[in-house]
A and B are shown apart, each in its own frame.
Chain A
Amino acid sequence: MKRAQLIAGLVLVALVVVTAVVSLFWTPFDPIRVVPGQRLLGPGWPHLLGTDGFGIDIASRLMVGARTVLAVGIISVGLAAVFGVPLGMLAGQTGGWVDEVVMRAGDVVYAFPALLLAILLASVFGASTVTAMVAIGVASIPAFARVARAGTLQVMASDFVLAARSSGTSRWGIARRHVLPNIAPVVGVQASVGFALAILAEAALSYLGLATPRPTPTWGNMLRDAQQFLFAAPLQALWPGLAIALAVLGFNLLGDGLRDYLDPRLREVP
């Protein structure tokens, strides 16, 4: 059962990754060039998923959109983890006023709407993929810090940390050799949940025109384009919506499966 979950997640994520990689070399049609004579075609041959309001092949645009999804997910989750996990570990291991300062600062970022941050960044630097990455990444730092801190507190209270200290392991050594491996599963789960959230956030931001600008196709701006033809060509909105849903589901399943796999206590005895 658990294994099936992991495999389903892997398959869905692999599908996104393969699609993105293939789109670098080949797409069925040009994903950008406008073809006025072929507007709003239904699914069929040669346009498998039909064409949009500019006469561009939807399948080709979906494939290119997968690239943005992966890039934004990886960079924003990476950014959030690189800053959030050490901050959370520092707060959890040190305690006292350090803990207080770090976590309250996290609360401030948490309370600040990510959308507002994105609007702010987009109005200063112009809407681009990078502003979306930074906005989503910064907004996700507190979540990582909280997860890392909670895990660290639990690990620091354990006998094996006391045992490690009684062997003369330094604070830094305990953080690296004992805390980090023990919180890795929860951070991994947070990363995959964060990845799924980042996909949703990126779609929302590009739907609002605050992320990747046209003509580069993203799943979010495809939804926006589809909106005006919702009654004439309802299927056009279905494809990017389905892509978003499946990608989010895939990363969630992957995270759940990974947690079980990474935990040696749940692994079978060789």
Chain B
Amino acid sequence: MSLLDVRDLQVSFGRSRTEAVRGVSFSLAAGQRLGVIGESGSGKTVTALAVMGLLPEYAHVAGSVRLGGSEIVGLDESGLARLRGNTVSMVFQEPMTALDPTMRVGRQVAEVLRLHQGAESGPARQRVIAMLDEVGLDDPERVADAFPHQLSGGQRQRAILAMALINSPDLVICDEPTTALDVTVQALVLAKLDEVLDASGAACLFISHDLAVVSQVCDQVLVMLDGRIVESGTVDRLFTAPEHPYTRGLVATAQLDRAEPGQRLPTVDDFYTGAPHG
């Protein structure tokens, strides 16, 4: 049985029922890593939030999301709260705002242990420091005692990674986890993510607009466009034989180093012009 099974998921917002996700289906086995790529507004983040049950109240959700055997769509808050942090956790895009500025980092990382395991603060602290060390933070003791504003963006994002992984969830959803970081730090964080996921055996749903980033972490990829999945397959196949014109555009723009000197660089529009802009 697969860990995550999404069937014909549809999400629309507000009275006008603006459709963000139009019938998305995919599944994810335990320990599998699946990348979701697409441009802004393609529905990737909404899909991720639907899996967490974190969509705002004014969202209309139809279809089915089964996570570890239980149906998420229509589940009440307390049922969702039991799953969140335990079965599934999430890494957010913006390291500057995803940590509470009034709480010490160590306490924030320990929060999920306190909630789901009723951990005492003494032993919890040992595990927090071990986890901070595991995600590659130097001087984890100091990081645990620091407030978020005292850390750099890369340090914070690794602390957020530690927060998502410390309770060994079955599935980690990463929503553009490295978009806000510079390229050097991004490579470092991705390498750590890869390492930690390997160590814990957790499955991962990795959302990004960047095919190159996804290819560093995932083996399978979905391409989303305008609320639908337009193509899916292994990273290798997508790079070598993309079928959908939009995917061909993405692949071409991810391999800019292949462009001849003096030539105009390719854009997605050269391959696919049906994409809505704005």
Contact = CB atoms under 8 A, between A and B. Distances in A.
Nearest to B145: A270
Contacts of B52: 166
A232 interface: no
B115 A163 contact: no
B103 to A, nearest CB: 7
Contacts of A171: 77
A182 B101 contact: yes
Given A159-B94, A264-B149, A265-B149, A167 B100 contact: no
Contact of A163 (B78, B86, B90, B147): B90
Interface string B74-117: 00011011111110011011100111111100000001100110
Interface in A231-270: 264-265, 267, 269
A28 interface: no
Given A162-B54, A163-B163, A164-B111, A181 B102 contact: yes
Contacts, number: 80
A247 B32 CA distance: 66
A164 B78 contact: no
Interface in A162-197: 162-171, 173, 177-178, 181-182, 184
B40 interface: no
Q: SS class of chain A's interface: helix, strand, loop or mixed?
A: helix
Contacts of A184: 102
A264 B102 contact: yes
Contact of A168 (B86, B93, B149): B86
Contacts of A160: 97-101
A265 B101 contact: yes
A158 B115 CA distance: 21
A163 B24 CA distance: 24
A163 B94 CA distance: 11
A160 B111 CA distance: 12
Given A167-B112, A168-B85, A173-B115, A162 B102 contact: no
A177 B110 CA distance: 13
Most buried by A among B77, B83, B103: B103
Determine the interface band of chain A, counting residues with CB < 8 A from chain B. 20 to 34
A264 B94 CA distance: 20
Nearest to A185: B102
B160 interface: yes
Given A158-B97, A169-B81, A163 B103 contact: no
A165 B78 CA distance: 11
Nearest to B82: A168
Contact of A167 (B93, B101, B103, B163): B163
Interface string B31-46: 0000000000000000
B150 interface: yes
Given A159-B92, A164-B100, A166-B84, A264 B163 contact: no
A77 B192 CA distance: 51
A65 to B, nearest CB: 38
B54 A166 contact: yes
Nearest to B49: A162
B78 A170 contact: yes
Given A168-B115, A181-B103, A159 B149 contact: no
B89 A166 contact: yes
Given A165-B84, A166-B52, A167-B163, A159 B97 contact: yes
Interface in B146-177: 147, 149-150, 160, 163
A165 B77 CA distance: 10
A170 B79 CA distance: 11
Contacts of B93: 159
Contacts of A269: 150
B149 A170 contact: no
A167 B147 CA distance: 19
Interface in B210-239: none
B92 A163 contact: yes
A159 B163 CA distance: 14
A160 B93 CA distance: 11
A166 B97 contact: no
Contacts of A264: 101-102, 147, 149
A151 to B, nearest CB: 12
A156 to B, nearest CB: 11
A69 to B, nearest CB: 32
Given A181-B100, A265-B149, 9 more contacts: A163-B163, A167-B115, A170-B77, A170-B81, A177-B100, A177-B103, A181-B102, A182-B102, A265-B147
19 contacts: A159-B94, A160-B97, A160-B99, A162-B92, A164-B100, A164-B111, A165-B54, A167-B111, A168-B85, A168-B112, A168-B116, A170-B77, A171-B77, A173-B115, A177-B111, A178-B103, A182-B100, A264-B101, A265-B147
- Per CB-CB distance, the 10 closest pairs between chain A and chain B, nearest first, are A168-B85, A167-B85, A181-B102, A168-B84, A159-B97, A166-B90, A167-B112, A159-B98, A160-B100, A168-B81
Interface of B: 52, 54, 77-78, 80-86, 89-90, 92-94, 97-103, 111-112, 115-116, 147, 149-150, 160, 163
